A and B are shown apart, each in its own frame.
Chain A
Amino acid sequence: MSKENLNDFYEMNRFNRKLRERVDAYEPELSDSLWDRIEHDLNHREGKSKRVLWLVYVLSGMLLLSSAGIFYLLKENKKLADASQVNPTAPDTEKPAMTLTIPEVEIRRDAGSAPESTTPASQGNPVSPESTNADYPALGGAPGNIPPATPSHETYENLIPNPSSPQENPSGISPEYTNPQPRLLEGSELLIPQEIILTEGEEAELPSGIRAKKIQPIATAGVQPASWPLKEVYRGRMGVNPRVMPYAGVSVEAGSSRQLLSNSDSLHRFGFEHPAWYSSKGLNFGVKFRNGFFVETGFHSSVTAVNNWWDTVFFKRYDTVPVLQATRNIVPGNHHNQSKQYWLDIPVQLGYQKYLSSRFSLTGRTGLTYSMINTYNGVEPDIFLRRFASAGTWNPKPFRNFWTWNLGAGIGYNLTRRLMLNLEANYRRGLTTMNNVNEINYPNRKLEAISGRLGITYSLY
């Protein structure tokens, strides 16, 4: 390095050092609002983290409850499956016999009181001693062997013997095998040989001596043709008609929404505003019961957005913000086009499904939805309605979490025994207000929406 360059180097270092000292010593005036902005930002972030924490708690609780519920219900199904294994030589489920649901079963072990028995006594009772008594107290409740007996299909009330009287118990079966309440099989299901084919409502007697009546299965009704793909729909994974059937699915919903204003200034609003399109999409989890009812929850992401002034809820045109004429002059053509609200919804729904045929069903539902973690993008006119500015400029957090209730009805169609399409019309209305503060420009608002819902569910059982 030449002497000249070295001098430059030292001079530069000196310059840099002096500059650094000057900047370090410099203390410019701060804007008065800077701390307020920081504090507002901190409040917002802390509130958000608290909300997220709260959401985690709620979701964990829901997950735990639903896991416990599903576990319990599956256990119930397993019990039914075990109970239905009355015939150890039951056909393989790969090539199954007909599955019947037995709503009422009357059993009696004393052969002497079976005048209408159609089963020869020589066939005996195919019930396996090991697989029945312990799990199947309806057959007597006592562990151990069940002696072969000619079963009866007569009603229990007519035939119940007095076990203490040897005359009334000529077969000599110990009274302990005579169950005073032999109806534990109610609602369970049996596998019967292929040759016994029953139609809906028809009754028959099984080789085991149990009388059975075919009833409407959980997911089908009516007479099914032999080639019907759903004929095993109610068999379930373990060959039983389950009491409950967990399912999962997705749904999309689209329609029109508006915000009902409960205290709006009539000069500014007409009782409601923001006709907007509404959409919601998400995951659903639920459980169907054999009686047709179902309970459902899930997570949905919803959006309401203003894109026109056409209120499709009642098919009328409303100029929702009359002063729009004024604001239009400020931001020509902008209106509220960009205003969007985003919600995370947790619905809890109770529904009913009635099968009209093997595939078609009617569905109805009602329930509550909690909408939260909202964000709001868009522009809002200022309080004097003189100009637009980004949402949050005048009111940093205009919205809050809220509840809605809904009522919907539609049709279902089973593509396969597990897969079902569902199309419904849905009406939704706010139960609590969605605005955080109540000012003239942010009056109390409640959501109202009408929409179409397309869902697909997959049975997990």
Chain B
Amino acid sequence: MTNLSDIELIKGCQEQQRFYQKKFYERFAKKMLAVCLCYTRDTYEAENIVQEGFIKIFENIKRYQPTGSLEGWVRRIMVNTATDYYRKKKRIKFSEVKLEDAEYMIGAMDIDRFATRDIIACIQELPEGSRMVFTLYAIEGYTHKEIGEALDISVGTSKSQLNRARMLLQEKLKRNEQRESQRFL
């Protein structure tokens, strides 16, 4: 019973059997929490989104069409839940950013030097709007047009927020790196 196939899981969840729902949760919860952490300020908010996302999944799993991967479907629901959460409940504030200020070299940074937990912590420290745009663009691979539609903002705002996020993230990662190096001195 430990290695249930996707089909078995889906069938059990469609029949609203708690056992299969729990197995489904155990299979995807950690990964989805990692995804949601990038959209939220802290673990508490991320867990709220995961909770809401799983409820949506269990309520809509009857409509699941096995055309793509199950994990991709689950992830898409989590991302939609996260964007909805902020769009409806939190009212994201997008600070004005001048594009010429966005001098960044983050792409040149060696990400391997940082622990994933630290990277996510730095992302969580970003302002709400920038964090959402950055995560959707960098992690989910959304285009600016798709981000605009998801967050109800213009393409220009999406681009400027992304630049701002990169700049801030670079600073935070550098600061983090310096702090870590000082610890070992």
Cα–Cα, bound, A37→B141 (Å): 31
Answer yes or no: A12 CB below 8 A from chain B CBs.
yes
Query: Are B25 and A26 interface neighbours, CB within 8 A?
Result: no
Which of these, B30, B58, B107, contacts A12 with CB under 8 Å?
B107
Which of these, B43, B106, B117, contacts A26 with CB under 8 Å?
B117
Which residue numbers of A lie inside 8 Å of B, CB to CB?
8, 10-16, 18-20, 22-31, 34-35, 37-39, 41-42, 45-46
Answer yes or no: B37 CB below 8 A from chain A CBs.
yes
Cα–Cα, bound, A46→B25 (Å): 18
On chain B, the residues within 8 Å of A16 by CB distance are: 137-139, 141
Query: Are A30 and B111 interface neighbours, CB within 8 A?
Result: no
- With contacts A22-B119, A35-B22, A42-B58 known, is A28 near B51, CB below 8 A? no
Query: Are A23 and B54 interface neighbours, CB within 8 A?
Result: no
Query: Are B34 and A45 interface neighbours, CB within 8 A?
Result: no
Cα–Cα, bound, A14→B107 (Å): 7
Give the total of B residues in contact with A, Cβ under 8 Å.
Answer: 35
Determine the main DSSP class of A at the interface with B: helix
Cα–Cα, bound, A274→B47 (Å): 36
**Nearest opposing residue in chain A for B44, CB measure:** A31
**Nearest opposing residue in chain B for A33, CB measure:** B47
Cα–Cα, bound, A12→B141 (Å): 12
**How far, in Å, is A7 (CB) from chain B's closest CB?**
8
Cα–Cα, bound, A299→B122 (Å): 55
Query: Are B116 and A22 interface neighbours, CB within 8 A?
Result: yes
Q: Which B51-96 residues have C-beta < 8 A from chain A?
A: 51, 54-55, 58-59
Query: Are A20 and B116 interface neighbours, CB within 8 A?
Result: no
Answer yes or no: B167 CB below 8 A from chain A CBs.
no
**How far, in Å, is B43 (CB) from chain A's closest CB?**
7
**Nearest opposing residue in chain A for B71, CB measure:** A24
Answer yes or no: B10 CB below 8 A from chain A CBs.
no
Cα–Cα, bound, A30→B50 (Å): 10
**How far, in Å, is A37 (CB) from chain B's closest CB?**
5
Cα–Cα, bound, A448→B70 (Å): 53
On chain A, the residues within 8 Å of B112 by CB distance are: 18
Cα–Cα, bound, A22→B45 (Å): 21
On chain B, the residues within 8 Å of A8 by CB distance are: 107
- With contacts A28-B33, A30-B30, A30-B33 known, is A23 near B120, CB below 8 A? yes
